[in-house]
Structure 1
Amino acid sequence: MSGRLTTHVLDLSRGVPAAGLVLQLWKLGGDGGKLLQEAVTNTDGRLDAPLLEGPSMHAGSYELLFMAGDYFRELSGEDGGQSAGGFFLEQIPIRFNIGNIEEHYHVPLLVAPGGYSTYRGS
């Protein structure tokens, strides 16, 4: 079995998948990090393909950076958070390690305008 990295984003404030949320995958290292890819969630709150799989899976430290502020502003039509009561969460970084490149690493995000949760999924 070949390993892979996937994610799924659920909008808890609306009880639906978070479609259209932009995220970035970073490989962390001594130089601060390297952007590996940027992606946008589909209508199911997932990506159309794994972020990493097969030969692109490498052990090490990674960060998924979710652009939550942009997502919630787009939904509400706000002016970029400049008005009173702008969004509390702008970007959500989730740092994790890949140790076994043969395993499936699933990093779900449960998000609302005022908080979030994550875990290692299956």
Structure 2
Amino acid sequence: MSERGVFVYVIRSADGHVKVGTAKNIQKRLRQLQGANPHALTIEYTSGGMLRIVAEQVEFEAHHRLHEHHVSGEWFLCTVEDARSAIAGAIKYVRNRRNIYQTHTLISRNLRTAKPYSGPRWMS
């Protein structure tokens, strides 16, 4: 079963760090993180819901784009706008890669099931 209710989020800590992650229930995730963080946390951005596998790919790519700001785990020392921009770019990148993969898969499937070319039909 596919889940279309997974979100990529940006949570900001009062000390200036931002976290880029994925969650199905962002409020629940915020409560979990707040319990282990001495600074106040706020949700600054959430993407639209997407399939879990897509959200995880977007998160991975966004982390890659923010690598120079990396502090620890999924925490970065950058602006919320930097994180939002990384997520937007990651969404475009993943969407493009998925379209290329789907097109390649469709072509491959068609080539496997196609009959060998035997010239124009009128010659048969």
| TM-score, normalising length: structure 1 | 0.26
The structure that has the greater radius of gyration is 2
Higher strand share: 1
| TM-score, normalising length: structure 2 | 0.26
Higher helix share: 2
